Amino acid sequence: MIASDSSRQRSAQNGSERAEHLAGLIMALARREGMKAGDRLIEQRLADALDLSRAPIRLGLKALEAAGLARGEPHRGFVLAKNPTSGAAQPALAAIRRNEQVYATIAGDVLASRLPADVTEAELMRRYGLSRAELQRLLDRIAAEGWIARLPGYGWRFAETVSSPEAQAQAKAFRAVIEPAAILQPGFALPQEVIVRLRERQQRVFDGELEKMTIGEIFHSGCEFHEEIIRGAGNPFFLEALRRVNSIRRLFAYRSFADRDGMRRHVREHLRLLDVLETRRYAEAADLMARHLQRPLVAGVS
Amino acid sequence: MIASDSSRQRSAQNGSERAEHLAGLIMALARREGMKAGDRLIEQRLADALDLSRAPIRLGLKALEAAGLARGEPHRGFVLAKNPTSGAAQPALAAIRRNEQVYATIAGDVLASRLPADVTEAELMRRYGLSRAELQRLLDRIAAEGWIARLPGYGWRFAETVSSPEAQAQAKAFRAVIEPAAILQPGFALPQEVIVRLRERQQRVFDGELEKMTIGEIFHSGCEFHEEIIRGAGNPFFLEALRRVNSIRRLFAYRSFADRDGMRRHVREHLRLLDVLETRRYAEAADLMARHLQRPLVAGVS
DNA sequence: GATTGTTCTTTTATGCAACAATATACAATC
DNA sequence: GATTGTATATTGTTGCATAAAAGAACAATC
């Protein structure tokens, strides 16, 4: 399958793809933060959260206004016009997804072994209809996620981590080692405000938001939860290792189908874990975490 | 014809940095493989080992010949002229090191917090006197090693894994978790030929080669040993995680000073571990590994 | 039969100029 | 005092022409 030439499209459109993308980022953030219609969208705060400066945020806000999702008044900034969970917010979020399409296609092709382990840039450019610049950004990103690496000469090589069919089980086994171990590290501690924040978010998901979330969002939320906890060990190597596993697990998520009941149980376990962590019974928490990771969240791989 | 003539001329004049680099790679490989003067340097075999094709290998071989480290006869290929451990081989290996200088400088600056966590490319280009292309290769490499990452907008951010002073202890704690756990994974197995190969190499180091090795080589050899063992778990996530820790530990190695006696003990422990692994007493091996990782290899950090 | 020598094609790197995006500082407004 | 509005310098991107490097195929040689 060959994607259409997006570089030519971009120059033709005046709606600026970049701005729409930024709008999507802002909406996704608002959604994660649980914001409601009427909440203020403060430029600097958004900029900090997205690791950008105010200029691009501004573009995104204007795009949101154009889409009717935000209202702005001079010198008073912008305000959310719709709930980020409402149907009206979907198109903005879709802008991100469109941007992810090639990425997802490649991920799928690798998972299904439709691509050889070693590939050249030129081959990928042809196959997916990308410019060199677009491809390079993409490869940089994939490399950062750790499932492709440059060869010394030409070309790139996909990691065996991805192409293997057992990868999912292996990721699980790895997590089952590092996550409980992190909790057992001497000096493990989770600040109260983190616990509160995590509980609040998990509770919100549990209390019905789950049904409105996409698979991607559910997955993201789960990753964030586990990453915040492992961060408590105060050892960045644990966090970093989990992040990498998660970035690869995300690829599988595309082809796993969801079982909302199982997810509800999963979230309940998160809440239970937080209770134990709050009282600092870390041995018990590690044990709980180990058992939590045994249970499958999603079943059935294509 | 004309073009190739002129390029040959140019490379004769200034010695083609690339060729010297390749020569260094070949010598380093020969050294790792324990080759001796008189051994044949077979192009295809070198190419496979270095993930390159024969063309660049050829350049490297010619550079080695020019440096007097290899002898070539028409249609009979090249032969090692000196032992790779001898003093004569040092200049070729130095070519790699020269190439690594900027890398090491940056690593040092980050470790000593002489660089801010967030940097722009232009700033780095100015500071280290690099062209954009050189810098990008460098950044790609550092990103692959996981201690820098692109920010969404301008610039890059160094990972906290590197800048923190406790990083060394944290790396150790992390390895103490994953390495024994890997050995305990169901299905862990180390092929006999791997054990033989590892033992042979460690034995060689133990029997005197140690004194002739640079800190970098000693470190590299240790990493290879541990990585081969963790590979036995058959779970690429363990291997990958260890690789990343090691690539960051390598930065510390630059500023650690060596204690040859401690290293000798360290290598003896490696040999002991291999004995236990060979008889498949994995529980015991995991225990041994855990204790091995408690002991410090290098002491004294600036 | 394996290895080297040679040639040819493909692929990637580099430098440069115009262009687009981003950051920053400071003034204006609430 | 916090936030938004605006101007400006800085920084990064893209497309293109040219140069260099790498890979692949095949003949020649041992």
Distance spanning both ends of chain B, measured CA to CA: 55
Name the packing angle between helices A215-231 and A260-278 (round to 10°).
20
Å between B152 CA and nearest CA of chain A = 7
Å between B51 CA and nearest CA of chain A = 7
Position A292 scores a pLDDT of 94
Residue nearest to nucleotide C12 (CA to C1'): A154
Task: Tell me the count of A-B CB pairs closer than 8 A.
Answer: 89
Task: Give the angle B149-B238-A164 at the CA atoms, nearest 5°.
Answer: 90
Å between A232 CA and nearest CA of chain B = 13
- Give the pair of three-digit tokens for residue A211: 């049904």
| Chain-chain contact of A161 with B240 (C-beta, under 8 angstroms) | yes
Q: Left (φ > 0), alpha (ψ -120 to 50) or beta: where does A2 sit?
A: beta
Facing residues of B73 across strands? Answer: B77
Please state, in angstroms and rounded to a whole number, the distance separating the CA atoms of residues B83 and A217.
Answer: 59
Whats the size of chain B, residue-wise? 302
Position A254 scores a pLDDT of 64
DSSP code, position A40: E
Position B229 scores a pLDDT of 98
Position B15 scores a pLDDT of 54
DSSP code, position B210: G
- Give the pair of three-digit tokens for residue A196: 């509160």
Q: Is the CB of B52 under 7 A from strand D?
A: yes
CB A178 within 8 A of CB A241: yes
Q: Which of A171, A181, A237 lies nearest to residue B237, judging by beta carbons?
A: A171
What is the pLDDT tens value at each position of chain B, 302 positions in all?
223 333 333 333 345 778 888 898 999 899 888 888 999 999 999 999 998 989 999 999 999 998 889 998 888 889 999 888 888 777 777 777 766 778 888 888 888 888 888 888 888 888 888 877 778 888 888 888 888 888 877 888 888 777 677 888 999 999 999 999 999 999 999 999 999 999 998 998 888 777 778 777 888 889 999 999 999 999 999 999 999 999 888 888 766 656 777 888 889 999 999 999 999 999 999 999 999 998 765 543 32
Position A297 scores a pLDDT of 56
| Positions of chain A with pLDDT lower than 70, given as ranges | 1-15, 98-99, 254-258, 296-302
| Chain-chain contact of A237 with B144 (C-beta, under 8 angstroms) | no
Q: Is B110 exposed, middle or buried (0-12, 13-18, 19+ CB in 10 A)?
A: buried
Sheet holding B156-158, edge to edge: B118-119, B156-158, B148-150
CB B119 within 8 A of CB B110: no
Please state, in angstroms and rounded to a whole number, the distance separating the CA atoms of residues A231 and A286.
Answer: 14
Position A245 scores a pLDDT of 93
Q: Which of B143, B161, B182 lies nearest to residue A144, judging by beta carbons?
A: B143
Q: Which nucleotides of D are covered by protein (CB under 7 A)?
A: 3-7, 10-15, 20-25, 28-30
Cβ atoms < 10 Å from Cβ of A43: 17
Distance spanning both ends of chain A, measured CA to CA: 19
Q: Left (φ > 0), alpha (ψ -120 to 50) or beta: where does B16 sit?
A: left
